[in-house]
Amino acid sequence: MSDHQVSCVNKQDRPNPHERIVNIGGRASDGPWKLPQEVAIAGMEDGRWRFYTSVGGKSVWLIIATSRYGHKYLKTQADGEDENNLLYLPECP
């Protein structure tokens, strides 16, 4: 399992926050990376990857959540701050 820092996202203009994030991305030693949310979720479920982001200088892990309609999405673990810090990350190029 490898760990990757998420520093940007791509969002759709949807009212439901569980459906807004389309891609997550970051920077690795070999350059920038970007994954569709569904691919990131599949990689987390099969144990290939773990993702985290930095919030106020602290690392916060991403987890898979399921909406009441059965839609899987990524969000940050509860950190005493906003419910889903991913929505506040800048847009990926």
Q: Where are the domains of the chain?
A: 2-77
Q: What percent of the chain has pLDDT over 90?
A: 57
Q: So what's the pLDDT on residue 86?
A: 85
Q: Largest Cα–Cα distance in the chain?
A: 38
- Closest CA relative to residue 49, chosen from 6, 85, 81, 86: 6
- pLDDT > 60? residue 78: yes
pLDDT in the model for residue 55: 73
Q: What is the pLDDT of residues 38-68, one digit of tens each?
A: 999 999 999 999 999 987 788 899 999 998 8
